[in-house]
Amino acid sequence: MKSNLNVFLKGIMDVSPLMIPVVPFGLIFGVLAIDIGFSPLETMGMSLIIFGGASQIVLLQLFSGGASSLVIISSVGAVNSRHLLYGAVVSEHLSDLKLIWKIIISYFLIDQAFAISNEYLKKNKQSNKYFHLVGAGATCWVIWQSTTLLGIVLGEAIPDKLGLSFAVPLTFLALLVNDFRKLINVVVIIISGLVATIGFNYIPFKAYVIVSALIGLFTAMILTKVIKK
Amino acid sequence: MSNWSLIIYCGIITYLTRFSMIALIKKEMFNDRIREILSYVPSAIFPAIIFPAIFINDSGLFQIEDNPKIIAALIAMIIGIFSRSILATIFSGLASYWFLIFVV
């Protein structure tokens, strides 16, 4: 059996390519938060306490737009509801763990770590395989905190044209490379993407992410049933 | 509400979305059908983040003309399909995006 450290290091290795777009994302988050009027300590606090790129950007956008706290908190909740699905997917592999490990791992259950470690968890059987998720999550944590800090310190020295707006979708696109070859996946991808694009302006509280995801899953449910018969 | 309470509440709600399913679901609740459907979770969620970020501009409007993100995403996707490499996909996407906005 591989040692815990080996599995942890494998998690770090596997997630590293996904950290490239996180660097500009973290930097610009730091710059933006200061620009909007949060103190350096509050900005760092956001990355430490929330630890979620999408949620933090939504918080900033709504805060600078003058939204009420209730709207901000419910929007952050809606954007994050996708984690419910991530949790449901990985829970099968974590259900035998002690509560303390579930508490720790939950903090690291972010998009990139989920996407990478889910593959590993599915393919491996050894009881310490969850260290892969810890390794991937901890890597994201280090990169996110250090780039936030760098963004706060460097501030306006960072050109905002570098492409933050593209780094995020690109990460998720890269995570789907293996799914573009499978018919049902392609259909699910297109439907979810279209619903999100249309719903972006019409579904309140940024809930378009979870609405599109559920419609996509429902499509998968029907297609897998029809195609099997 | 102070900034700190806002940050803490957002942190709590974020954490709960991550923790709740891991805490509640037991291994015995899974069967092959549920596993099959859950295997589509990435394909169902990620496009909901990708599509609006590419097609909807900063003003919240649908933009298909003069939009380098669409071309860069297509290039990244094609490279991704053939290489099956996350790294190659990200590099080709960023490189073509920068090329389109800075050079062309």
Task: Supply the pLDDT for residue B95.
Answer: 92
Q: Can you read off the two tokens belonging to residue B94?
A: 């960023």
Which residues of chain B are within 8 Å of residue A72 when distances are taken between CB atoms? 6, 10
Question: In sequence order, what are the residues at sequence separation of 6 or more whose Cβ sits closer than 8 angstroms to the Cβ of residue B17?
Answer: A77, A80, A81, A82, A83, A84, A87
Strand intervals (E) in B1-104: none
Contact A87, B18 (CB under 8 A): yes
Residues of A in contact with B70 (CB under 8 A): none
- The answer to whether A145 touches A47, Cβ cutoff 8 Å, is yes
Q: Residue holding tokens 């760098």?
A: A150
Cα distance between residue B40 and residue B46, in whole Å: 10
Q: According to the model, what pLDDT value does residue A161 have?
A: 65
For A173, the closest of B40, B50, B83 (CB atoms) is: B50
| 3-class SS of residue B56 | strand
Give the confidence band of B8 by pLDDT, cuts at 50, 70, 90: very high
- Name the token pair of A104: 């720790």
Which residues between 41 and 100 in chain B have a beta carbon less than 8 angstroms from any beta carbon of chain A?
41-56, 58, 60, 62, 69, 72-73, 76-77, 80-81, 83-87, 89-91, 93-94, 97-98
Which two tokens mark A196? Answer: 């999100």
Helical H segments across chain A, by residue range: 4-15, 22-36, 40-49, 53-64, 69-80, 82-94, 99-107, 111-123, 131-154, 164-174, 183-199, 208-228
Q: Closest Cα partner for B92 from A117, A53, A166?
A: A166
pLDDT of B36 strictly over 70: yes
Q: Which residues contact A178 (CB under 8 A, 6 or more apart)?
A: B84
Interface residue of A98, A119, A125, A177 to substitute, partner B, most B CBs within 10 Å: A177
Measured between CB atoms, which of A80, A91, A212 is closest to B22?
A91
Q: Are A46 and A63 in contact (CB under 8 A)?
A: no
The answer to whether residue B15 scores a pLDDT higher than 80 is yes
- The pLDDT, as a whole number, for residue A167 is 81
State how far residue A153 is from chain B, nearest Cα, in angstroms: 20
Domain that holds residue B91: 3-103
The count of domains in chain B is: 1
pLDDT for position A169:
87
Q: Which residues does chain B have within 8 Å of residue A178's beta carbon, measured at their own beta carbons?
A: 84
Decide if B3 touches A, using CB distance below 8 A.
Answer: yes
The helix, strand and coil proportions of chain B, stated in percent and rounded to the nearest 5, come to: 80, 0, 20
% of chain B beyond a pLDDT of 90:
76
Q: Which of A87, A193, A130, A215 is nearest to B62 (CA)?
A: A193
Q: Determine contact, residues A86/B18, Cβ cutoff 8 Å.
A: yes
C-alpha to C-alpha distance for A23 and A140, rounded to whole angstroms:
10
pLDDT of residue A99: 95
Alpha carbons A96 and B5: distance in angstroms, whole number: 34
* Amino acid, single-letter form, for residue A125: K
Give chain A's residues under pLDDT 70: 159-164, 229
> A217 vs B4: CB contact, 8 Å cut-off?
no
Q: Is the Cα dihedral A94, A100, A101, A106 positive or negative?
A: positive
Query: pLDDT by residue (tens digit) across B49-66?
Result: 899 999 998 888 999 999
| Domain ranges (residues) in chain A | 4-163, 176-229
Q: In the predicted model, is pLDDT for residue B19 greater than 90?
A: yes
Q: Is the pLDDT of residue B67 over 70?
A: yes
Read off the pLDDT of residues A77-118 as tens digits, 9 standing for 90 and up: 998 999 999 999 999 999 999 999 999 999 999 999 999 999
Question: Cβ contacts of residue B74 below 8 Å, gap of 6+?
Answer: none
State chain B's mean pLDDT as an integer: 92
The confidence score (pLDDT) of residue A124 equals 93
Measure in Å the smallest separation between the Cα of B65 and chain A Cα atoms.
16
